[in-house]
Amino acid sequence: MSDIFLSYARPDRERIASLAATLEAQGCSLWWDRQIEGGAEFSAVIEEQLAAAKHVVVAWSQHSLHSHWVRDEADFARTEGKLVPISLDGVLPPLGFRQMHALDFSDWRSGADKTEFIELLRAVGANGASTRTEAEVAEQAARSSVEVRQPVIQILPFANRSSDEELGYLGEGLAEDISSIFASNRHFGIATGAGEAREDYRVEGALRRMGAKARCNVKLVDPQGGTQLWADRFDAEAAELFESSDEMAGRIAARCTSEIKLYEANRAERLPPEMQGPWEAASRGWVKVFGVGFALSAVKRVIEELQRSVRAYPEFALNHAILSWAAVAVVINGMWEDDEYDMLRELVRRHLDEARRLASNDIDTLVFIGATENYSGMHERSVATLDAVLARDPYNAEAHLMISLPYAYLGRYDDGLASIGRVAELAPEAHFRNCSMWYGGLIEYLKGDYEAALAGIDYNVARNPSYGYASAVLALCHEALGDEEKARRLILQAKQTNPQLRPEKLRPMMTSQPDKEKGEREYATLERLWEEVTLSDDQA
């Protein structure tokens, strides 16, 4: 049961969605009729929630003055001594309800720092999170006491397995360069000597000559259990080895970073909730979203987990950035229910602002800020944000991935495809491979090369058939190439796996292409295919 019950008239639903989202962001436990499950007995649920609530916030307006439901709920709340009235449009409460001052919300649209919202928090006994249940308060206390984890990595000098002294110098230099790349990321710690600090991961390597070539073998291990987590080898012409040592160090660091993040996410999955700190929420969040390629149920779970985390750790910038990115992904992919749109947009705005405020030089946070800016239509700003990351760490595979799309939406298709190619070089088997393939195919689609787009998009759809937008784009590619039957099957798949999806929800994405005429033409095709499939499905 929730502490706060929101009573309102249906025409005010959008305003209430924004208010609900802002209250929840402040840690308030609330209920409004959006949460009635299909098939539930409406009046029974209302009465149950009203009785359980500690406060009933009644939103008076020109609409609610004439609502029998709102009047009944307000009368119950007044009798029980838990009525908290607000006025959405400046209207006075009806006669019989004017003994209590109604907070004026006529100018409020969003923001937890507005005077009227702060007064509302006081009226419901909240100063941020005090309206939570005892269990929730205990959970935050436990979570807030958890140490903010920073995985510690030791990079050993690479051993020289030959008589070539220069390889020995190179091995020491590689270790130093890899350490420098990791040190640029505030979420990793570097152990500078064996036994000097706790080690979670160790990078070991060896160099040897093979005639005119040289080989570098490298592995990532768990020093506690001795388990090898990842291994690879890199070959180069011996004469060119020193010239390419920066590239080798960068690729090793990129591969190790992606593997460490994946293992950190798996470690977090095994921890009990009371031991989940902000780093655990971050690693679980980005791996889940990247790994599933925007599957609705997974993304919404990530959003819920990150909301809990930012309430417990409001100064941890990275989770604000990932939360804003996940929420805007739901918006642009049309995965929202009709009553969720305003709430999601508010989540994006608020947590993007917080991420920017807190980011400083946090590379990971800046990567997701840039990604959110792109999804929000701020393509030039996104490129500027991600360019700054790559200037500091040119081997950051996630930054190369994220910058590829704003390049494409600015019409810089070749730059976008080059970035995707760079991702494949730096982290070919990373947890974001599915996303990388999708972005590559999407760029080809935006460019108008439908044949080239098929492989990447089909790779994504085969692994994530519930991703409706990807199925729709793949359908448009097949339609452009003359395969109408395949296009209709994909549209049917999108409809069946995404019952909340409609073509108009995808229109902003489709018509924001650099080629506006192409976007409008393809949107018209999508509407036609959708209607044909719907009619065929209804007749069946």
| Domains of the chain: residue spans and CATH | 4-132 (3.40.50.10140), 152-259 (3.40.50.10070), 273-539 (1.25.40.10)
Among 37, 30, 34, 36, residue whose Cα is nearest residue 56: 30
Q: What is the pLDDT of residue 272?
A: 80
Nearest to 203 by CA among 173, 234, 175: 175
Assess contact for 174 and 216: CB atoms under 8 A: yes
Euclidean distance between the first and final Cα of the chain, in Å? Answer: 43
Q: Decide: 333 and 438 in contact? Cβ < 8 Å.
A: no
**C-alpha 480 chain-centroid distance:** 32
Burial class (CB in 10 A: 0-12, 13-18, 19+), 232: middle
User: What confidence score (pLDDT) does residue 322 get?
Assistant: 96
Taking a C-beta distance cutoff of 8 angstroms, is the pair 210, 200 a contact?
Answer: no
CB 401 within 8 A of CB 390: no
Whole-angstrom Cα Rg for the chain: 27
- CA–CA distance, 160 with 154 (Å, rounded to integer): 18
- What does the pLDDT read at residue 128? 45
Q: Which two tokens stand for residue 201?
A: 């991961």
Query: Could you tell me which residues come within 8 angstroms of residue 369 by beta carbon, excluding any fewer than 6 positions away?
Result: 321, 324, 352, 355, 356, 359, 385
Other CB atoms within a 10 A radius of the CB of residue 369 amount to: 28
Q: What is the pLDDT of residue 299?
A: 84
Q: Where are the beta strands (DSSP E) in 187-315?
A: 189-191, 201-210, 213-222, 227-237
d(CA 358, CA 352): 10
**Residue 66 tokens, joined:** 């004439």
User: What is residue 241's three-state secondary structure?
Assistant: coil
Distance CA 26, CA 395 (A): 38
- Beta-bridge partners for 190: 153
- Looking up tokens 């439908």 gives 450
Q: Which residue has the tokens 């359908």?
A: 475
Output the tens digit of pLDDT for each of the chain's 540 residues.
Answer: 788 999 999 888 888 888 888 888 788 888 887 655 444 456 778 888 899 999 999 999 998 998 888 999 999 999 888 999 999 988 888 988 877 788 989 888 777 777 788 889 888 886 544 444 444 445 544 554 567 888 999 999 999 998 888 888 888 999 999 999 999 999 999 886 655 556 889 999 999 988 888 889 999 998 877 889 999 998 888 777 777 889 999 999 999 999 999 999 999 988 887 778 999 999 999 888 776 556 677 788 889 999 999 998 999 999 999 999 999 999 999 988 888 999 999 999 999 999 999 998 899 999 999 999 999 999 999 999 999 999 999 999 999 999 999 999 999 999 999 999 999 999 998 889 999 999 999 999 999 999 999 999 999 999 888 899 999 999 999 999 999 999 999 999 999 988 899 999 999 999 999 999 999 999 999 999 999 999 886 665
Kindly report the pTM of this predicted structure. Answer: 0.73
Backbone dihedral region of 95: left (phi > 0), alpha (psi from -120 to 50 degrees) or beta? Answer: beta
Q: Are 250 and 390 in contact (CB under 8 A)?
A: no
